[in-house]
Amino acid sequence: MKIVTCVAPVNIAVIKYWGKSNDELIIPLNDSISASLSTDVMCAKTTIMASPLLNESAFWLNGAKQDMNSPRLARCLKKVRERADPSLPEASWNVVICSENNFPTAAGLASSAAGFACLVYALAVLYGVEGEISDVARQGSGSACRSMYGGWVRWHCQGDSIARQLKGPAHWPEMRVLILVVNDATKKHSSTLGMKRSVDTSSLIGYRAEKVVPDRIRDMEGAIFAKDFETFAELTMRDSNQFHAICLDTYPPCVYMNDTSHAIVDLVHRYNEFRGRNAACYTFDAGPNACVFLLEQEVSSFAGAVDYAFPRVGDGADYYKGLGFERVPIEGGLAETLTPAEQGKLKYMIHTEVGEGPRVLENSDDHLLTVDGLPKALGLVPA
pTM for the whole structure = 0.95
Q: Shortest CA distance to 66 belongs to which of 105, 93, 103? A: 105
Per-residue pLDDT of 293-324, as tens digits, reads: 999 999 999 999 999 999 998 777 789 999 99
CATH architecture of residue range(s) 1-168+359-383: 2-Layer Sandwich (3.30)
The helix/strand/coil state of 14 is strand
Minimum mean pLDDT among 80-94, 104-118, 231-245, 316-330: which range?
104-118
Per-residue pLDDT of 346-378, as tens digits, reads: 999 999 999 999 999 999 999 999 999 999 987
Q: How far is CA 357 from the centre of its chain?
A: 12
- Lay out the sheet containing 94-101: strands in order across: 64-66, 58-61, 94-101, 43-51, 2-9, 359-360
Distance CA 43, CA 8 (A): 6
Q: Is the pLDDT of residue 382 over 50?
A: no
Distance CA 163, CA 33 (A): 9
Average pLDDT, integer, range 247-274: 97
- Mean pLDDT score of the chain, rounded to an integer? 94
Q: Shortest CA distance to 354 belongs to which of 103, 33, 37? A: 37
Per-residue pLDDT of 176-189, as tens digits, reads: 999 999 987 777 78
Find all residues with CB under 8 Å of 315, minimum gap 6, and list them: none
Residue extents of the structural domains in the chain:
1-168+359-383
Decide: 147 and 10 in contact? Cβ < 8 Å.
Answer: yes
What was the pLDDT predicted at 231? 98
What was the pLDDT predicted at 109? 66
Q: Is the pLDDT of residue 241 over 80?
A: yes
Categorise residue 264: left if φ over 0, alpha if ψ from -120 to 50, beta otherwise.
alpha
Q: Tell me which H or E stretch contains 269.
A: helix 259-275
pLDDT cut 90: percent of the chain above it: 90
Distance CA 38, CA 352 (A): 7
Per-residue pLDDT of 110-144, as tens digits, reads: 688 999 999 999 999 999 999 999 999 999 999 99
Per-residue pLDDT of 12-67, as tens digits, reads: 999 999 999 999 999 999 999 999 999 999 999 999 999 999 999 999 998 899 99
